[in-house]
Amino acid sequence: MRVLICDPTDPESVERMRAAEIEVDVRDDISAEELMEVLPAYDGMVVRSRTKVRAPLIDKAENLKVIVRGGVGLDNIDVEHARAKGITVLNTPAASSASVAELTIGYLFALARRIPDATASMRAGQWEKKAFSEGTEIAGKTLGLVGCGRIGQEVARRAAALGMNVIFTRRTPTELPYARQVSLDELVRTADYISLHVPHTPETHHIIGAPEFAKMKDGVYIINCGRGGTLDEEALYDAIVSGKVAGAALDVFADEKEDRGKKLFTLPQVIGSPHIGAGTVEATERVGAEVAELLINFYRENYSRG
């Protein structure tokens, strides 16, 4: 079996695949145009969030048998089209959950205490003690999680340990000892902080938009370390300008190629990062290990020499 690694993957995990007699080529900076040309020669491919696997690419890759997404979401892959062509699609949903959850918690503190602004002020040689002495504690505040799967539950567990009152929305009834399930309407009306942790689907597109902002408390904070497109960025901009939203922290954006939230970052109340939620050494190692295990098992089940 011949596999193409299209995005950065833990080197030790690549060697594990090769040791299992899988032929692996690493081209983790390959362009979309190059991928279209070379993929037909491969039986499998490994991607993370950078590489998009859409229908035209799938149709061109006549030998493709398996796609492994190193990470949680599958929104960069046309999954139904791939499976209709007989291609197995796998991912590693648990490997990066802790890293994304920790970034979310980090943003809670950064917003509450205006840490990035204070740092920028210090770098400018200023000593604005009074200006930055009006932060708030997160203990006792209500954190509303829009979505509460693996990552949401990791966030909820950590936030509850910090003394926050955690509420969440989820399609299926779920009992958690450290959080309470509520409707989306109750969540947006009562939360002091709202954090999004849902995949981007037609059902969740702009799940937080102008109607939801209108219902929120004045001075609410918004965090999105989940998926771009679930948050209406234009409506968020307007809500910040109006004073409804006190601040926002964003790791993901609707358009991560061109726009990248540029309008939002003209506002001093917005802080963010370039989609680094899973970008830790530990998560990279766990993702790589799980990718290797998935591919090795697929190889043994489908290419066994008996």
Which is nearest to 225 in space by CA: 166, 145, 165?
Answer: 145
- Give every CB contact of residue 258 below 8 A, 6+ residues apart in sequence: none
Q: What is the DSSP letter of 1?
A: -
Sorted by where each begins, the domain ranges of the chain are 2-95+281-302, 97-272
Task: Spot the catalytic one: 81, 113, 186, 256.
Answer: 256
Tell me if residue 62 is catalytic.
no
How confident is the model over 113-171, as pLDDT tens digits?
999 999 999 999 999 999 999 999 999 999 999 999 999 999 999 999 999 999 999 99
Task: Spot the catalytic one: 48, 197, 200, 275.
Answer: 275
Q: What is the pLDDT of residue 73?
A: 77
Q: What is the pLDDT of residue 164?
A: 98
- Give every CB contact of residue 223 below 8 A, 6+ residues apart in sequence: 104, 107, 108, 111, 193, 194, 195, 196, 248, 249, 250
Task: Spot the catalytic one: 16, 114, 200, 227.
Answer: 227
- Domain 97-272, CATH homologous superfamily name and number: NAD(P)-binding Rossmann-like Domain (3.40.50.720)
The answer to which of 190-194, 204-208, 216-220, 274-278 has the lowest mean pLDDT is 274-278
Q: What class does CATH assign to 2-95+281-302?
A: alpha beta
Q: What is the pLDDT of residue 305?
A: 59
Mean pLDDT throughout 68-97?
92
Domains 2-95+281-302 and 97-272 share a fold: yes
Mean pLDDT throughout 3-9?
95
How confident is the model over 12-45, as pLDDT tens digits?
999 999 999 999 999 999 999 999 999 999 999 9
Q: What is the pLDDT of residue 114?
A: 97
Measure the CA–CA gap between 26 and 24, rounded to whole angstroms: 7
> Which neighbouring-strand residues pair with 249?
223, 271
If one compares 220 and 93, the residue with the highest pLDDT of the two is 220
Mean pLDDT throughout 242-271?
96
How confident is the model over 277-297, as pLDDT tens digits?
999 999 999 999 999 999 999
Tell me if residue 227 is catalytic.
yes
SS3 176: strand
How confident is the model over 65-79, as pLDDT tens digits?
999 999 887 889 999
Mean pLDDT throughout 168-181?
96
Tell me if residue 256 is catalytic.
yes
Q: What is the pLDDT of residue 306?
A: 47
